[in-house]
């Protein structure tokens, strides 16, 4: 069975601070995808990144960066120089590609509050 | 390009009634997923449709059902509503079954009184 754990329920930082959101996953599959989504107060989930299990290269997109480590089953997300608009709930998710499962298994989410 | 759309935005029902939620995927997407986001329970997978067929369902009772139409839009039906069905219902679409980057709609907020 697959499982995603986001141990940080809530994080509060002051604007311009860097913040890292942790994500640990469990899966028996060797082929899988990992995702991060952002859910602002409006409720709509916004796709941020997808990473497949064969690609452990870290990725940077503007102020966002992701660190994928298969050895520790972690896919952490860092926001550099945080801004108030980054305040949202962030979800890490996993999707296995074997069998008939394509749905996303989500972590419980991390509520990030960036204070001005 | 239009994103995933859902209707209605809000829906208020009473216990025992039936609710119908609708979703239109991004043009070209053939897979539609339904998720429930209930307070305290997080995001849980409900149903997956692709090419008009139900491909997989989550751990929900049979009173949660749906279908996908030839134009790939989808409907989620919840029968015999219970108070705990109150939640945000999110629909997502993706390109077929192998490319599973899912894009979400704004959701339907269902309140059961």
Sign (positive or negative) of CA dihedral A49, A50, A52, A53: positive
Share of chain A above pLDDT 70, in %: 97
Whether residue B101 and residue A47 make contact (CB cut-off 8 A), yes or no, is yes
Mean pLDDT of chain B: 93
B40 touches chain A (CB under 8 A): no
- 8 Å CB contact between B113 and B19: no
- Cβ of B97 under 8 Å from any chain A Cβ? yes
Q: Does A43 touch chain B (CB under 8 A)?
A: yes
Task: Indicate the pLDDT class of residue A59, thresholds 50, 70 and 90.
Answer: confident
Confidence category of residue B85, pLDDT binned at 50, 70, 90: very high
- Cβ neighbours of B62 (radius 10 Å): 7
Residue A102: predicted pLDDT: 78
Cα dist from B81 to A54, A61, B37, B85, B101, whole Å: 43, 43, 16, 7, 31
- Please name the member of B42, B104, B107 whose beta carbon is closest to the beta carbon of A109: B42
Pairwise CB contact (< 8 Å): B33 & A108: no
pLDDT tens track for A93-108: 998 876 666 788 999 9
Q: By the CB < 8 Å criterion, does A98 face chain B?
A: no
Instruction: For chain A, give percent helix, strand, coil, nearest 5.
Output: 5, 55, 40
More confident residue, A37 or A54: A37
According to the model, what pLDDT value does residue B99 have?
56
Confidence of residue A60 (pLDDT cuts 50, 70, 90): confident
Q: What is the pLDDT of residue B74?
A: 98
């Amino acid at each position: 069975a697959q499982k995603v754990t986001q141990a940080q329920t809530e994080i509060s930082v002051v604007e311009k601070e860097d913040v890292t959101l942790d994500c640990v996953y469990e899966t028996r599959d060797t082929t899988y995808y990992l995702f991060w989504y952002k859910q602002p107060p409006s409720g709509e989930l916004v796709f941020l990144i997808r990473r497949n299990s064969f690609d452990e290269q870290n990725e940077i997109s503007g102020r966002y960066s992701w660190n994928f480590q298969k050895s520790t089953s972690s896919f952490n997300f860092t926001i550099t120089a945080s801004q108030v608009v980054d305040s949202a709930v962030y979800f890490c998710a996993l999707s296995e590609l074997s069998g008939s499962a394509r749905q996303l298994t989500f972590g419980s989410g991390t509520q990030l509050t960036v204070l001005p | 390009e239009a994103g995933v759309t859902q209707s209605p935005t809000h829906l208020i029902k009473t216990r025992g009634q039936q609710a119908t939620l609708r979703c239109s995927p991004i043009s070209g997407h053939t897979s539609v997923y339904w998720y429930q986001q209930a307070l305290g329970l997080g995001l849980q997978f409900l149903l997956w449709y692709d090419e008009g067929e139900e491909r997989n369902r989550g751990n929900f009772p049979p009173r949660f059902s749906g279908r996908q139409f030839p134009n790939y839009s989808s409907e989620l039906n919840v029968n015999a509503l219970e108070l705990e069905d109150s939640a945000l219902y999110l629909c997502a679409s993706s390109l077929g079954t192998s490319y599973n980057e899912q894009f979400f709609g704004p959701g339907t907020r269902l309140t059961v009184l």
